[in-house]
Amino acid sequence: MIIELQTKNNAVIAEIKNVNGDIPRIGETINIKQHIEGHLETNDFMVIDVQYSLDDNKLTPVITCKEYATEQNRNDLLKSQGWI
């Protein structure tokens, strides 16, 4: 699994590769506990997109997450993506 992390302004700040575990669903949150170079904001990210990449007959999930700080931001983000 690949996890792409974005700021609130859609700038990609990190891409974490070879992540094991369950595939998160859209709207779920992930708390990233590792240091992200040059990024001092929140460590909470919400899944906004789940896609799959097919490389050499291997299906790899690509998860896009956007940082968020409060429950209201989560609702606003889900509405802007058309999920609620």
Instruction: Give domain limits for the chain.
Output: 2-80
Residue by residue, pLDDT tens for the chain (84 residues) are 999 999 888 888 889 898 899 999 999 988 887 666 655 556 788 999 999 999 899 999 999 999 876 666 667 777 777 777
Q: Would you call 71 helix, strand, or coil by DSSP? A: helix
Could you give the CA distance from residue 13 to residue 66 in angstroms, rounded to a whole number? 10
Q: Would you call 80 helix, strand, or coil by DSSP? A: helix
